[in-house]
Each structure stands twice: as C-alpha cells, then as structure tokens.
Amino acid sequence: MKFSVLKTNVEVSPLFFAVLTSFLLVDKNGIASAAVLFSALHELGHFLALLCVKSHAKAVKISAFGIEMQLYENMSTVKKIAVLMAGFTVNFVLAFFFFKAGKTLFGYINLVTGCLTALPVAATDGGSVLKIIFEKIFPEKADKLFFSVSLSLSIFVSAIMVLAAVYSKNYYLLIAAFYIVLSAKK
C-alpha cells in the first residue's frame, strides 16, 4: 500500500501487519505492547527532528523488519545525523523519566530499544550515522569498511543477545538477535 503524507511517500508492506499481530498475540505480559508504543515514539522523534530542521523525509518504508526512512541527499550531514539520533534519544529520555518515576519495566524497554537502535550496525539509526561518517572520512572505502564493522559488531552483539536470552529466559532477545544478523546482510 502506497500513499503520501506531508510530502513524504509512504509504503506499507502487508507483512508488517502480520508480524505486528503475531508479535502482539504471543505477548503474555504486555511487554510487546509497550515495546510497540515506545518504538512508535522513537519514530515520532525522527519526525519531530525533521520539523526542527525544517525538512521532511523523502520516503518511509514500513516492512516486516521495521521502518526505513530515506532522507533527501541535499540535507546537510549535521542535519541528517541529528534526525537519525533523535529516535534513540527519545528512548533514552523516556528511560530516564520512567526510572525516576519507579516504572523500571518501561525504563528498561526504552533503554533496550534505544541501545539496539543506537548500535552502529546495518539497518539501525546508529549504523546509518556510522555510514554517513565513513562516507565523509573515507569516501572510496566507506561501503567496504562499513560492511566489515557492521558484520563484526552484528555477530558479536547477536551472540551476547542469544546468551542473555538463554540465561534470562527472555526469548524476545532471540528475535532482536535474529533481526541484527539479518540486517547485516543489507
């Protein structure tokens, strides 16, 4: 399904709704519902940053594996990085306030969401920031360098997440580890 919102082309895959529904149906304790809400607030952070820099996204693709935002090429590097960092910054700010309010579960969900999206691996905001930096510093080698760093970090972080999932019996971490490994191929 394709449509346009505020000069931004939006494409939504039907698989997104299937994955989201499955994710929410298997949720027995409300963690998935909270994670979906805080992920939506994360995305809202990107759009608020776009408003602050007086721009808009070229396109947004919502798929089974997440949301991908295409920014305009003529946007300055600083503005692109600010927009990309806005999402996980929202999660870190929410985590701080939830911890202060004694709502530790919501604090941890935001902390984990922020940390995962700040990771400098493919298909994350942190990865997009790292790629922009590599393109500025090493224009000829940026793609190869980014792939090597991203793949190495993806394998390392995924291994830690699998161990943490087994140890804590929190199998949502397996989904995140699987996503990180899959995204490294992008």
∠ CA 126-83-148, rounded to 5° = 25
Tokens at 14, concatenated: 């039907």
How high is the mean pLDDT of the chain? 88
pLDDT range class, residue 186, cuts 50, 70, 90: low
**Angle, helices 77-100/31-52, rounded to nearest 10 degrees:** 140
* Residue scoring higher pLDDT (1 or 14): 14
3-state secondary structure of 80: helix
pLDDT tens string 33-65: 888 899 999 999 999 999 999 998 888 898 877
* Residue scoring higher pLDDT (44 or 178): 44
| Residue-range domain boundaries for the chain | 1-101, 119-186
Amino acid at 129: V
> pLDDT exceeding 90 applies to what percent of the chain?
49
pTM attached to this predicted model:
0.85
Residue 28 is predicted with a pLDDT of 75
pLDDT tens string 87-137: 999 999 999 999 999 999 999 999 989 998 999 998 899 999 999 999 999
Residues 112/104, Cβ–Cβ less than 8 Å: no
pLDDT tens string 148-162: 999 999 999 899 989
